[in-house]
Amino acid sequence: MNTPDSPEAGDDPAPAAAGERVAKWLARAGAGSRRDVERWIAEKRVKVDGTTIDTPATFVTAAHRIEIDGQRIAAPERARLWLYHKPVGQVVTARDPEGRPTVFDHLPRDLPRLVSIGRLDIASEGLLLLTNDGGLSRQLELPANGFERRYRARVHGSIDQTRLDRLMHGVEIEGVRYGPIKARLERQQRSNMWITVSLQEGKNREVRRVMDFLGLGVNRLIRIGFGPFNLDALPEGAVIEASARQVDVVTGAPGYDASGRKPGWARPKPTVKTRPGRAKPRRDAMRDDPARGGMPREETPRRGKR
């Protein structure tokens, strides 16, 4: 089918006034990923103005009526982004077949439909970014766009900084190639060590696999940053929305360094939304949290008498 807004093969790309490709439009609307949409189109499940389309190259605008399986999809809202402090024990998925608690079960009910930007496994904690825009999620996830993920890992074992520095050349583990990783040894605590890890790819369980390759067992993993966003003092289980200006910055404002903050960067507003009945952590608990650079109370060395 060639709709008025879909170019013929070999034609010049459609002008901006013609809208955007239907796969991108539906991804931004939160209907699914671009690959999902392409599959749905191949399965003849997508209609534009009542006509089944057969190509993801179809261009659409908010004026078109777009349906999936007969259900109309609302036009995408402006891209929005939230920071969530994920606790251990939650799965980053919309529905879990094993019945385990999910991140989305614990979000405030007044939030729109969200998708996660990357994932954290059930045993990991810390910063998880959420968005209402599938296109923004894809943009932030792609390693080529240079958004750095930062973690603090508590590991069991012993290693020196020289061995950690070798990770900057990348490493291959069981046929999987991992890109450059910056790892810095922070401190030793009895048989445990704290290591700060920075990487850009974020492959499945990458930090745990690399540490295991080095002979180190990870017993706590906290994501403390993603691109310009930091966990800071966000309480566990709480969520805050990034400002529209911050979203504009990560979508390509000039002068932005994806591994850090742009000059004039402002932190998200400190208003915290939690589910009813969720108690905020005590100030001393926040001070002692390793995610914020503190030391757990039971691990704080005692001072001798003067």
Beta-carbon count within 10 A of 223 CB: 24
The answer to whether 121 is a known catalytic residue is yes
Please give the Cα distance from 306 to 142 (Å, whole number): 55
Per DSSP bridges, beta strands 217-226 and 125-131 are parallel
Structure tokens at 156: 């069991």
Structure tokens at 61: 């605008």
Please give the Cα distance from 270 to 16 (Å, whole number): 37
Alpha-carbon dihedral 59, 65, 67, 70, rounded to 10 degrees: -150
Task: State the greatest distance between any 2 C-alpha atoms of the chain, in Å, as a whole number.
Answer: 85
Active-site pick, 121, 212, 232, 288? 121
CA angle (189, 282, 219) in 5-degree steps: 30
Alpha-carbon dihedral 14, 18, 20, 21, rounded to 10 degrees: -60
Structure tokens at 272: 């915290």
User: Residue 137 carries which DSSP code?
Assistant: H
Active site residues: 121
